[in-house]
Amino acid sequence: MPLAVSPLALPFPVLPPIAGVRFAAGMAGIRYKERTDLVLAEFAPHTGVAGVFTANKCPGAPVDWCRAALPGGTARALVVNAGNANVFTGRAGVASTSETADAAAGLARCLPSEVFIASTGVIGEVLPHDRIVAALPALHGTLDGDAWEAAARGIMTTDTFPKGATRTARIGGTEVRINGIAKGSGMIAPDMATMLCFIATDASLPAPVLQSLLAGGVDRSFNCTTVDSDTSTSDTVLLFATGAAGNAPVADAADPALADFAQALDALLLDLALKVVRDGEGAGKLVRIDVAGAVSDSSARRVALAVANSPLVKTAIAGEDANWGRIVMAVGKSGEPADRDRLSVGIGGTWMARDGAVVPGYDEAPVVAHVKGFEIEIAVDLGLGNGRGTAWTCDLTHGYIDINGSYRS
């Protein structure tokens, strides 16, 4: 039975074509019946590629494949399947990635090392890659520059809505475009990207520059989000640059000519990351945690994530309970420098506690009204320094248990 669409869902935006990029999506019958579960993309020759992958020590075979292919710096094709993660599948998993890459390479007329592969779904079941190989020729025949939304739907698992974003920027005097799609709903925690995300641009940028920009952007977006504190075995973010825009060459990620592009890429990544959080399994509220007064920015972010990952904080938000004591608890357990007598906590713009005590005359009414909304803001000031950090999460409801308690059935 299809899951009810998240109350935090956003409509899929219009993603215009990117020169040198075509997608197709279809049904291979990998696990799901009567729904798209396979996506193929083809890129123009000489397309550059960058990638960031899971920090999980038990990654899937597709992650290993992509890591090995990435140093080549070019990509001609991408194959993504939903329903089976191809994780913990031993030699069979390795063989499935190799044979899938061979099949896609034959269609794209490229080397298998120029084919990137990603899988998402159930862990520990052998991927029936013969169904993928059989379905690829028909997909190749339907490749289309306008198939971004179809691709976004084709990579969904427990997602309740497709996720896409687009931005424009200038490199020198040349306008370039960036499009991206993502999937993710559960098993979402930072340590690189927390799901699958595929971005393409018509900018002309070498792979090392792409890699620097992507790694920095992921750290400021996906690595600041969490749904359930669990880091997936399959997390993959890939950025492809076709070069079709014909902008002037740029050899250094720090070149001022890239400032606008870097800002646009960061904005697109954060857009997609927050859409993943909005679709957290069973989520009803988007929660932002801003931490100030930490000893460093990195410390502030770790405190923010401790609050974001606290089941007690998340269930209090789900129950619309303005229980600031749970926030204090999460700050204290973070392992970061904190002083109870300097700590301040606020929700929805109202400070509830300052310097380790309840604010005199504190009126809970506006806070209660705020936590009844869909977007919740939590503020923490540690009073120790100038460090700042932000994390985003969602509430924790019984819906999360319902989805994950029957994930394989």
The distance of Cα 306 from the centroid of its chain, to the nearest Å, equals: 19
Predicted confidence (pLDDT) at residue 271 exceeds the cutoff of 50 = yes
**Whether residues 290 and 398 fall in one domain:** yes
Percent of the chain with pLDDT over 90: 82
Beta bridge pairs of residue 350: 347
Q: Which residues are catalytic?
A: 194
pLDDT computed for residue 108 by the predictor: 98
Are residues 160 and 5 in contact, defined by beta-carbon separation less than 8 angstroms?
yes
DSSP conformational letter for 225: B
Q: Domain of 38: which CATH number?
A: 3.60.70.12
Q: Let me know if residue 119 belongs to a domain.
A: yes
Label residue 18 by pLDDT band (50, 70, 90): very high
What does the pLDDT average to over 58-78? Answer: 96
Asked which of 278, 311, 332 is the last residue of a domain, the reply is 278
**Whether residues 241 and 257 fall in one domain:** yes
157 annotated ligand binder: yes
* Angle, helix 207-219 to helix 259-278, in steps of 10 degrees: 50
pLDDT computed for residue 193 by the predictor: 39
Predicted confidence (pLDDT) at residue 242 exceeds the cutoff of 60 = yes
56 annotated ligand binder: no
Least trusted range by pLDDT, from 168-177, 281-290, 393-402: 393-402
315 annotated ligand binder: no
Asked which of 231, 262, 278 is the last residue of a domain, the reply is 278
Predicted confidence (pLDDT) at residue 213 exceeds the cutoff of 60 = yes
Q: How many angstroms separate the most distant Cα atoms in the chain?
A: 72
Alpha-helix runs per DSSP H in 141-258:
148-154, 207-219
Higher confidence at residue 144 or residue 233?
144
Q: Let me know if residue 1 belongs to a domain.
A: no
pLDDT computed for residue 230 by the predictor: 63
Q: Let me know if residue 85 belongs to a domain.
A: yes
Predicted confidence (pLDDT) at residue 207 exceeds the cutoff of 90 = yes
Backbone angles phi, psi at 288, to 5 degrees: -110, 130
Q: Domain of 354: which CATH number?
A: 3.10.20.340
**Whether residues 388 and 322 fall in one domain:** yes
**Whether residues 95 and 140 fall in one domain:** yes
Q: Let me know if residue 7 belongs to a domain.
A: no
**Whether residues 72 and 93 fall in one domain:** yes
Asked which of 250, 278, 306 is the last residue of a domain, the reply is 278
**Whether residues 238 and 350 fall in one domain:** no
Predicted confidence (pLDDT) at residue 45 exceeds the cutoff of 60 = yes
* Surface-to-core class of residue 191, CB atoms within 10 Å of its CB (0-12 exposed, 13-18 middle, 19+ buried): middle
Q: Let me know if residue 222 belongs to a domain.
A: yes
247 annotated ligand binder: no
Least trusted range by pLDDT, from 115-124, 179-188, 217-226, 314-323: 179-188
pLDDT computed for residue 235 by the predictor: 86
Q: Which residues, including other chains, have CB under 8 Å from residue 301's CB and lie 6 or more apart? A: 224, 291, 389, 390, 391
pLDDT computed for residue 231 by the predictor: 67
**Whether residues 327 and 214 fall in one domain:** no
Write out pLDDT tens, residues 333-372.
999 999 999 999 999 999 999 998 999 999 999 999 999 9
Q: Let me know if residue 111 belongs to a domain.
A: yes
Write out pLDDT tens, residues 33-42.
888 999 999 9
**Whether residues 207 and 350 fall in one domain:** no
Look up the pTM and report it: 0.93
Predicted confidence (pLDDT) at residue 188 exceeds the cutoff of 60 = no
- Please give the tally of structural domains in the chain: 2
Predicted confidence (pLDDT) at residue 69 exceeds the cutoff of 50 = yes
Host domain of residue 320: 286-405
**Whether residues 236 and 291 fall in one domain:** no
**Whether residues 214 and 351 fall in one domain:** no
**Whether residues 259 and 352 fall in one domain:** no
pLDDT computed for residue 399 by the predictor: 67
pLDDT computed for residue 54 by the predictor: 87
Higher confidence at residue 193 or residue 209?
209
Predicted confidence (pLDDT) at residue 2 exceeds the cutoff of 70 = no
Predicted confidence (pLDDT) at residue 192 exceeds the cutoff of 50 = no
Q: Which residues, including other chains, have CB under 8 Å from residue 362's CB and lie 6 or more apart? A: 352, 353
CA torsion, ordered 127, 54, 65, 85, to nearest 10 deg? 10
What does the pLDDT average to over 197-225? Answer: 96
Label residue 406 by pLDDT band (50, 70, 90): low
Predicted confidence (pLDDT) at residue 86 exceeds the cutoff of 80 = yes
404 annotated ligand binder: yes
Write out pLDDT tens, residues 280-328.
877 899 999 999 999 999 999 999 999 999 999 999 999 999 889 999 9
Are residues 142 and 40 in contact, defined by beta-carbon separation less than 8 angstroms?
no
Are residues 236 and 63 in contact, defined by beta-carbon separation less than 8 angstroms?
yes
Q: Let me know if residue 264 belongs to a domain.
A: yes
**Whether residues 290 and 274 fall in one domain:** no
pLDDT computed for residue 229 by the predictor: 62
Label residue 402 by pLDDT band (50, 70, 90): low
Predicted confidence (pLDDT) at residue 190 exceeds the cutoff of 80 = no
Higher confidence at residue 362 or residue 226?
362
Q: Let me know if residue 249 belongs to a domain.
A: yes
